[in-house]
Chain A
Amino acid sequence: DTGVSQDPRHKITKRGQNVTFRCDPISEHNRLYWYRQTLGQGPEFLTYFQNEAQLEKSRLLSDRFSAERPKGSFSTLEIQRTEQGDSAMYLCASSLEGGQPQHFGDGTRLSIL
Chain B
Amino acid sequence: AQTVTQSQPEMSVQEAETVTLSCTYDTSESDYYLFWYKQPPSRQMILVIRQEAYKQQNATENRFSVNFQKAAKSFSLKISDSQLGDAAMYFCVTQGGSEKLVFGKGTKLTVNP
Chain A: residues with CB nearer than 8 A to chain B?
31, 33, 35, 40-45, 48, 55-56, 58, 91, 93, 95, 98-99, 101-107
Question: In residues 5-25 of chain B, which contact A (Cβ within 8 Å)?
Answer: none
A17 to B28: give the CA distance in the assembly, Å.
Answer: 41
B35 at the interface (CB under 8 A from A): yes
Q: Which of A42, A48, A55, A101 contacts B47 (CB 8 A)?
A: A101
**Interface check B105, CB cutoff 8 A:** yes
B interface SS class: strand
Pairwise interchain contact B101-A45, C-beta atoms closer than 8 A? yes
* A99-B33 in contact given A42-B106, A91-B45, A106-B43 (Cβ < 8 Å): yes
Chain B residues, Cβ within 8 Å of A55: 99
Q: Is the CB of A56 within 8 A of B98?
A: yes
The reply to whether A31 and B99 form a contact with Cβ atoms under 8 Å apart is yes
Give the residues in chain A near B4, CB-CB below 8 Å.
42
Closest 4 CB pairs of A and B: A42-B103, A45-B100, A104-B45, A106-B44
Interface pair A98/B44, CB less than 8 Å apart: no
Complex Cα–Cα for A35 and B37 (A): 14
A-B CB contacts (within 8 Å), total count: 52
Give me 18 other A-B pairs in contact (C-beta within 8 A), A42-B4, A48-B100, A102-B47 excluded: A33-B99, A33-B100, A41-B106, A42-B91, A42-B93, A42-B104, A43-B45, A45-B100, A56-B99, A56-B100, A91-B45, A93-B45, A93-B101, A99-B33, A99-B95, A101-B35, A103-B47, A104-B46
Q: B50 in the interface, Cβ–Cβ < 8 Å?
A: yes
Query: What are 13 contact pairs spanning A and B, CB under 8 A?
Result: A31-B99, A43-B103, A44-B103, A48-B99, A93-B101, A95-B99, A98-B99, A99-B33, A99-B95, A102-B101, A103-B47, A104-B44, A105-B44
- Are B101's CB and A43's CB within 8 A? yes
Residues of A within 8 A of B98 (CB): 56
CA of A45 to CA of B100 in the docked complex: distance in angstroms? 6
**Bound form: Cα–Cα A36–B92 in Å:** 16
